[in-house]
Structure 1
Amino acid sequence: MIIKTGEPKKMAHFVSIIVPVKNELKYIIECVNSLLNVDYPKNSYEIIVVLDKNATAEVERALSTFRGRIKVVRSKRSGSAANRNLGVMKADKRAAYFAFTDADCIVSKNWLGSLVHRINNSSKDIGCVGGLNLVPESDNQFAKLIGAIEQTLLGGGGSAQSAVTKRMRIVQSIPNCNALYRKELWIKNKQDENLIIGQDGEFNYRLGKQGNKFLIIPNAVVWHHRTNSIRKHVRRMYKYGEAAARVFKLHPGILKARWYASLSLFGMALVIILFVISFSSILALYLLEGLVIAYLAMLLLTTLQVIVKLKKPIAIFTPFILALQHLFYNIGFMAGLVEMETRK
């Protein structure tokens, strides 16, 4: 069923919008401007921008142009988790909900109204509502390619982080670049400040274990800038892998819920094992060949998907980017496990 937005002006629930920022000088102005222009009663929401401990002076100066219209808080800690937790602590007591987006996002005009309307009309077990996470038109061709790849099964695993849907649906987790939570969930729980990346996924996993559900709707849109070079993308995948390892150590059961990460790790482990055994076993060699052929076939099918969607010559680089993405995610995961073992 297609979701209708309703009349935002009839929704008087106060919302605190929290935006952690570190060095997103290039994007923070357009982010705040979009938040100031949402179609929601101006006296029914506040914008709290939390400056990371390591936030640049340029970012702070840029935010000074919004003095009197937003609340700027300086954090003594680093990391989005610590900054979101601090934002919640500094929020207006009237807040019924906490909304989150990132400093490199632009929210749609009906973003806040759509989220509030949906959670108001949902059962109490819906603890969080989120929406679509699209690529801005101003991003370069590589960033748009990454966005298109993320929307495929092989590139994003169907994650709400990159899902494009025309219907509302329950998902396992909602990224904090586009999320609205019931206030009580943040009063009873906090994000793990030891996690620099992946803290929203870990937080949502704990909430899910408590019986809360996550609902994604199609008409609450943010445009989220993607990495604009292969170097940045590979580094990001490595860090995601490291973060996944840390979360796995905290919650071993999370890989059952995150099938995409599990399959990627299992596939790489199987390839390594078969490669070693293949020197002494012809059967292992045949199995290895079959596995490689199957993976190449999936890369080809995914590339065709991206070509059809993007309709740009750059789409032909899809298999190389996907292979690097899977490789560096797995390397990061293994490095994360090794790092934690050496710390014991």
Structure 2
Amino acid sequence: MQDIEVSVVIPTYNRSNLLRETLESLFAQTYSANKFEIIVCDDNSSDDTEEVVKGLMQNSQHNLRYIKVKSKIKGPGKVRNAGINHSVGKMIGFTDDDCVVSKNWIETAVDCFKKHKEICGVSGTVTTVGDCKNKKFTIARRVDILSDTGSYVTSTTFYKKDILLEVGLFDTDMRYWEDIELGWRVKKKGPILFEPSIHVNHKIHCASIISYLNHLKHIEYWVLMYSKHPEHMKDDKLILGHFFNKSPIYIISAFLCFSAFLLESKLFVLFSIITLITYLWAHVFVDKNLKKYPRRLILLPRYSITDIVKLTYSLKASIKYKCLVLF
């Protein structure tokens, strides 16, 4: 294990079929097999994940390791932390059990660290593959990252291990978005390079409508992040300092319109016009793709429901964490 330079940490939970593809893409790396290890951190899965990984360990020449993490703490942060603590590489790479990494994924990351001594980390691009056309009553959840957004997801990010130990690893208070919060802390120590060729394909998630709406609850952790890092509210240029996007402005306008209607106020017409304008601003005229404008108009009920849910969760979190950020 003395030759190991890179440790790849993969958290997993009940996805043995997808995990196998992820591991096979790592087995096909152009980077020398004896210079990196793969650490599968199992969040106490109930499927055959353990059997699948241990079977691959017996039949593969790669440095594949398996850790079963039992903890009452929820979220992948504690699982990734276990992987970091068991790692031996000076560089830690992160990907997920629903990703397939490019063949030069590790090699390109290592080259970036060698060429840019000052960086603390390097991140790349994510492309969602697949669709939900054959699955009725589902909503596609995509993860597409094609440029440097300043949010470094653990689908395809590498950090220097000593920097991770210095900043305190993943924050286990963060059940979701813990990877982005970690990136914010790392950037205080030094730059994170964005290299597009460090690429992964991310499997699409086809969520049921109920599951999708429940997933929106994760917005609460964005508010928690801003409460921990209030300077990012200004850095991210929140609208009027507290609106993360345009959706809350539309919903507030719609609420005022509905209230004026119930009160039979003369302001109803004015608020109706404002509501229409804010909806177009938030959901229709968001780019120059004219072909999508009619569809976006028709999707008003869907957007309205999701916007109300997001605003409700973010308002609740804003009160809880005493930090006003509305989504």
TM range (shorter): 0.7 to 0.9
Which residue of the partner structure matches residue 67 of structure 1?
57
SS at match of 2:218: helix
**Structure 2 residue 319 is the aligned partner of structure 1 residue 335:** no
**Structure 1, unaligned runs of 5 or more:** 1-11, 151-160
Aligned partner letter, 1:292: L
Matched with 2:9 is 18
Shift of 1:276: 7.7
Listed as ranges, the matches of 1:178-193 within 5 Å are 178-189=156-167, 190-193=169-172
CA distance in structure 1 between the aligned counterparts of 2:204 and 2:254, rounded to whole angstroms: 31
* Equivalent position SS for 1:256: helix
1:258: how far off?
3.9
Shift of residue 130, structure 1, vs aligned partner: 1.2
Read off the aligned partner of 2:185 and give its amino acid letter: R
- Alignment partners' CA distance in 2, 1:142 and 1:274: 39
> Quick one: distance in 2 between partners of 1:318 and 1:116?
45
Q: Which has the higher contact order (CA 8 A, sep 6+)?
A: 1
Q: 1:80 aligns with which of 76, 83, 92?
A: 76
Matches within 5 A, 1:128-277: 128-137=121-130, 139-141=131-133, 146=140, 162-165=144-147, 170-189=148-167, 190-208=169-187, 210-231=188-209, 232-236=211-215, 238-259=216-237, 262-264=244-246, 266-267=248-249, 270-271=252-253, 274-275=256-257
1:35 and 2:20 are equivalent in the alignment: no
Percent of matched pairs sharing the same residue: 19
SS in 2 for 1:262: coil
Instruction: Give the C-alpha shift of residue 291 in structure 1.
Output: 4.3
TM-score of the superposed pair, with normalisation by structure 1: 0.74
Distance 2:4 2:302 in 1: 44
Distance 1:120 1:292, change over 3 A: farther
Of residues 26, 31, 41, the one that matches 1:50 is 41
- Unpaired runs of at least 5, structure 2: 323-327
C-alpha distance in 2, partners of 1:134/1:262?
24
Q: Does 1:116 align with 2:110?
A: yes
Question: Which secondary structure state, in structure 1, belongs to the residue aligned with residue 285 of structure 2?
Answer: helix
Shift of 1:326: 3.6
Contact residue 264 and residue 330 of structure 1 kept, 8 A: no
Contact 2:248 2:307 in 1 (8 A): no
SS of residue paired to 1:243: helix
**In 2: Cα distance, 1:176 partner to 1:277 partner:** 44
The 1:288/1:247 distance shift into structure 2, 3 A limit, reads: farther
Shift of residue 280 of structure 1? 8.7
**TM-score (norm: length of structure 2):** 0.78
Shift of 1:300: 2.7
Match of 1:300 among 256, 271, 284: 284
For residues 172 and 51 of structure 2, the distance between their equivalents in structure 1, rounded to whole angstroms, comes to: 26
- Provide the residue aligned with 1:107 in structure 2: 101
CA pair 319-275 structure 1, distance change in 2 beyond 3 A:
closer
Displacement of 1:325 in angstroms is 4.3
Give per-residue Cα distances to partners, 1:316-343, cap 9 Å, x unaligned.
97666554544433332233345668xx
Work out which of the two has the higher radius of gyration on C-alpha atoms and give 1 or 2.
2
Code of the residue aligned with 2:52 in structure 1: it is: A
Q: What is the CA–CA distance in structure 1 between the aligned matches of 2:219 and 2:317, rounded to whole Å?
A: 7
Shift of 1:107: 0.7
CA distance in 2, matches of 1:303, 1:265: 16
Once the two structures are TM-superposed, the CA of residue 222 in structure 1 deviates from its matched residue by 0.7
Alpha-carbon distance in structure 1 between the residues aligned to 2:179 and 2:276: 34
1:142–1:229 CA contact under 8 A, matched in 2: no
* Preserved CA contact (<8 Å) 2:121 2:157: yes
Does the C-alpha gap of structure 1 residues 198 and 136 become closer, same or farther in structure 2, counting only changes over 3 Å? same
Pairwise CA RMSD:
3.5
- The change in CA–CA distance for 1:317 and 1:163 in structure 2 (over 3 A counts) is farther
Asked whether the 8 Å contact 2:284–2:296 carries over to 1, the reply is: no
Q: Distance in 1 between matches of 2:191 and 2:302?
A: 33
